[in-house]
Amino acid sequence: MFVGLMLFLALMLFAGYAKLSTVILNRILARPLPKWAIAAIEVPQLGLLPLYAVLLIQCLFQHGLWLRDRTWFDLTPFQGLLIVAGIIGFLLLVRSTWIFQRYRPPQCERAHTSRLVDFRHSSEAQTWQAIYLGPGPMRGVALLPGNQQFTLEVSTKTYSLPRLPSEWDGLSIVHLADTHFRGAVTRAYFEAVCDQAIAMQPDLFVFTGDLLDDAELIDWLPTTLGRLRGKIGQYFILGNHDWYLDSNRVRAELEHLGWLDLSSRCVEVRPPNSTNSAPALVLAGDETPWMGTHPNLNQTSTDSFRILLSHTPDNIQWAQSQQIDLMLSGHTHGGQIQLPLIGPVYSPSRYGCRYASGVFWKAPTLLVVSRGISGREPIRYLCRPELTKVVLRTMSAQ
């Protein structure tokens, strides 16, 4: 009985410490840090987890907490700090689980359909591993049982927004995010994802950053994103992983392939086949805090319907202050691994896991956060990669 209680308490406090550790890490990694600094932070923090477990068990069995009078007063300051850290973290874990379980789509959602595309069921003579998996140590990660990296969720989500002009009713946007070309997942996978995107036939294609992890794979672009053509264009921004590389080279290649760079700027577009009297739509791009500045919206009409591409959802408060109507983001990958009931734990954001993925109404802004298409590590549990078509309707449309 005693041992069982101690082990249960140890497990609860260890989970709390792990949560507190990750909460701190998420907020640190939301900052524009170079790769070496990230490694210098992540590696020691992971090493502290087993050390905490050993010290905690030693402390609990030494003092027999819960079962002896005044035991708490026998703790050393260091042991007390261990216990307090675990308790605080466990309370944060309970809170984040409660928020995750209470998530509901915003009331402005009119429709939502989705289907799964399982790339592991290939009709080719080769196996799916031969087609979609590259060499190297990440191959073993991709082959872990239950990994969902190669089961893409393709969704169409329809929203009614109050400021959408009638001339733009039915506007469709296919949102791609976080491809992370690295080689562990082959070009064939991204070509197949782009095939799915092309079949959606949107008015606009947008990409919200983190294109590459290996600069040499820039030659994958012509047969992937380079094939995408929206009825009124295709627009992009870059992300922190592109910042680690030669971002100017990436921009030049995407622009050569017909994509328009929205970094730190705004453009106005009009409905196809419309007159100049039709209201313009404002598209803006934000790569902060890694690159550039917030786009200057003062030069655009305050009555214009505004769409912001922001790599991170952390710019949501700025978007609200600028009367952004729709904000499209990625970066957080939905956590890549979501725990049953608890949801995501790792999410490099100032808001932690609050905006790891999903759609949120933060008046006057509708925030859509994609789980992305891949990641630096090809691993997904309860968090499939995502390709989304967003359809916008006026409030009066039936």
What's the confidence (pLDDT) of residue 75? 76
The 10s digit of each residue's pLDDT in 281-300 is: 999 999 999 999 999 999 88
How far apart CA 37 and CA 343 sit, in angstroms, is: 27
Confidence at 274, pLDDT banded by 50, 70, 90:
low
21, 52, 65, 86 from 77: Cα distances, Å: 20, 15, 15, 14
Q: pLDDT tens digits, residue range 164-219?
A: 999 999 999 999 999 999 999 999 999 999 999 999 999 999 999 999 999 999 99
Answer for the pair 211, 181: CB distance below 8 angstroms, yes or no: yes
Q: Model confidence at 16, in pLDDT bands (50, 70, 90)?
A: very high
Residue position matching structure tokens 């209680």: 5
Mean pLDDT of 267-292: 88
Residue 265: pLDDT over 80: yes
* 281 vs 272: CA distance, rounded Å: 12
- Domains of the chain are 2-102 (no CATH), 109-393 (3.60.21.10)
pLDDT of residue 311: 98
- Is the pLDDT confidence value at 375 over 70? yes
Q: What is the mean pLDDT of residues 76-101?
A: 93
| C-alpha dihedral sign at 58, 62, 66, 72 | negative
Write out pLDDT tens, residues 125-172.
Answer: 578 999 999 988 899 999 999 999 999 999 999 999 999 999 999 999
Count of H-run helices and E-run strands, the chain? 9, 15
State the pLDDT at residue 299.
Answer: 84
Within the chain, strands assigned E span 109-118, 151-160, 171-176, 204-208, 234-237, 260-261, 266-269, 281-286, 305-310, 326-329, 338-339, 343-344, 358-362, 365-369, 386-393
